[in-house]
Amino acid sequence: MLHSMPLKLKCCCDTSTKSPLLMLPLLFYQTMAEPRTSSIDGKLAEEFAVPAHVEEVREKMAAFACRHAEAGRRVVLITSGGTKVPLESRTVRFLDNFSSGRRGASSAEYFIDSGYAVIFLHRHRSLYPYTRMFLTINMLDALQFRGGEGAGEVVVNQQVLPGIAGVLKRYNQVKDGGLLLPIEFNTLSEYLHLLKAAAQALSAIGSKAMFYLAAAVSDFYIPASEMPEHKIQSSNGPLQLSMKMVPKLLSPLVKDWAPQAFVTSFKLETDSAILLDRARQALAAYRHQAVVANVLDSRRGYVVVVTPDTQAELVLTEDEAEKDVEIEERIVSNLTSAHSKFISQQAGSLSISVPSSSSDSESSRAITSSWEAVRRV
């Protein structure tokens, strides 16, 4: 039964040629999903340089999300790779971490296989979906030139690139379907501003959006106002740094920028004894939907997906690891199921008012039909 409750409906797409009733499934997910201003916005703008292209990228991500939501597809924002923290404005030296982006790149493939469209917010030169398994191969060793001096052709040696035909075929399918939108970042500042832009862009599709925050983000930084402009001279003697804590964007993302989205964060520790407590503390502090908890030494074969109500251990056996089974496939399977449950709960918690007019009967039937379609997504 539908109960009467007035709702604010907003669509990011051009709906001028579409019937409002036909747009109802999309509009439902956009109900009350407008991003709000956060108290952290001012600090973000003051202490972290804003990328010149951030508005252009925001519009691109919003159009991508809206297009796929209209097609009935969910959208996941995957962050991947590490963040570079400059020590000088004209950067020569910087702090970095070991993250290669392996988890984010492999997860992107499994999300696409599960029916999602993917916005891939990744570190420049980190691992990339579909090309990731060939990273250690010298590409010139895999290519052969055949023909005379004036003309010829380049041929791929598939023994050097095992499985390249299947990977290329799948990549072209993804590319032709427009299912992958890559967005690059390099520095910590770029990452923070682009994550905010992504959250605001995806807020329009409500609970159909998922955030999979797998990037290894620095905890420390030097504000732009305190950073030396030129290269730090070694002739000045030993270097002493005073760094500030990076603001946690998970809180404004959940509360203000994309309040209806399904949000997954990652918790990496070196001490297994504190892992689950730290994961639960994060859930309590930020009130998001899931934490993927893992220990540094075993992260490729063992993780725990922790939610407010459950915890699921995902383990690869030695035999599975030898057969190149990836833990990311199980992580994605677990989270897509949780996302489905989340969407159903969100749909069940909202209702919509039916207008009273001479065409009530026909309109009500159409709205009810569209509503039921929403609930089945």
Name the residue with higher pLDDT: 147 or 90: 90
Contact partners, residue 293, CB within 8 Å, separation at least 6: 266, 267, 269, 275, 276, 278, 279, 303, 304, 305, 306
Considering only CA atoms, which of 329, 307, 306 is closest in space to residue 315?
329
> What is the token pair recorded at 353?
């008012």
Note whether 185 and 194 are within 8 A (CB): yes
Rounded CA separation 179/110 (Å): 12
pLDDT single digits (tens) 111-141: 999 999 999 999 999 999 999 989 889 989 9
Q: What is the pLDDT of residues 89-104, one digit of tens each?
A: 999 999 998 889 999 9
Q: For 234-256, how does the pLDDT look when each residue is reduced to its tens digit (9 = 90+)?
A: 888 999 888 999 999 999 999 99
> How far are the Cα atoms of 110, 137, 175 from residue 161, in angstroms, in the given order?
21, 8, 21
Q: Which of 167, 160, 44 is nearest to 113 (CA)?
A: 167
Helix (H) or strand (E) holding 127: none
Cβ(127)–Cβ(135) under 8 Å? Answer: yes
Burial group, residue 348, by CB count within 10 angstroms (0-12, 13-18, 19+): exposed
Q: pTM for this one?
A: 0.83
Q: Which residue has the tokens 């030396």?
A: 228
Q: Where are the domains of the chain?
A: 35-133+171-230+242-376
Q: Which amino acid is residue 270, in one-letter code? A: T
The tens digit of pLDDT for each residue in 288-314 reads 999 999 999 999 899 999 999 999 999
* CATH domain 35-133+171-230+242-376 topology: Rossmann fold (3.40.50)
Dump the DSSP string for 338-363: HHHHHHHHHHHH---PPP-STTHHHH
Residue-level pLDDT at 39 = 67
Q: Compute the half-sphere exposure of residue 323: CA atoms within 13 Å on the CB side of its CA.
A: 6
Confidence (pLDDT) at 350: 59
> Confidence band (pLDDT; 50, 70, 90) for 13?
low
Report whether 87 contacts 222 (CB < 8 A). yes
Of residues 36 and 316, more confidence is placed in 316
Give the pLDDT band (50/70/90) at residue 353.
very low
Quote the DSSP letter at residue 251: H
